[in-house]
Amino acid sequence: MVSLLQDPLTEAKRTIADLKNTNRDFQAQEFLHRQSVCEKVRKRFEHRIQSKDEKIRLLKHEVAMKDEEIRSLKSQQDRREEEYGRLRNNIQSACTDMQNAVATLGSAFIFRAQSPPEKGNDYSYDLIGATPSVGYEMLKYLFKE
């Protein structure tokens, strides 16, 4: 009779052991699956981070190139402003020299004749008095006499 009870008990113990083994196998597979999923998620995030880092690196490089371009353009602008300043000063100086020359010509080298010819004051004589010139009308226009 003991053997009759032994068989179902042994069978039950074997079934319990099989269930425990199956449970352990299932848990191990589930653990591996979770690890696999976690690994995939981790790798995906790492890839995203690497992609973002690469984009950041490229953007920083682009910003550095733009900064260099801006510095170059500013130095060109500074050189041009200096050149324009020199040209402006030269032009102002030349204008002043021309105004002084015109004033000197108008006041020192050309004068009205003391005894005008029959035509009136249309002619003026140079300083030496050698030849009449038709510059009087021009001087009247320039100096608004």
Q: What is the pLDDT of residue 41?
A: 87
Question: Mean pLDDT by 10-residue block, N- to C-terminus, for the chain (145 residues)?
Answer: 64 86 85 83 91 95 97 96 94 88 68 51 48 53 55
143 shares its domain with 77: no
92 shares its domain with 116: no
49 shares its domain with 86: yes
- In which domain, by residue range, is 126 found? 112-145
Q: What is the pLDDT of residue 143?
A: 59
Distant-in-sequence, close-in-space partners of 127: CB < 8 Å, separation ≥ 6 = 108, 109, 110, 111
Q: What is the pLDDT of residue 80?
A: 96
Specify the number of domains making up the chain. 2
CA distances to 32, 35, 38 from 27, rounded to whole Å, are 8, 12, 16
> Does residue 14 lie within any of the structural domains?
yes
80 shares its domain with 130: no
Q: Is the pTM of this model over 0.75?
A: no
Q: What is the pLDDT of residue 111?
A: 52
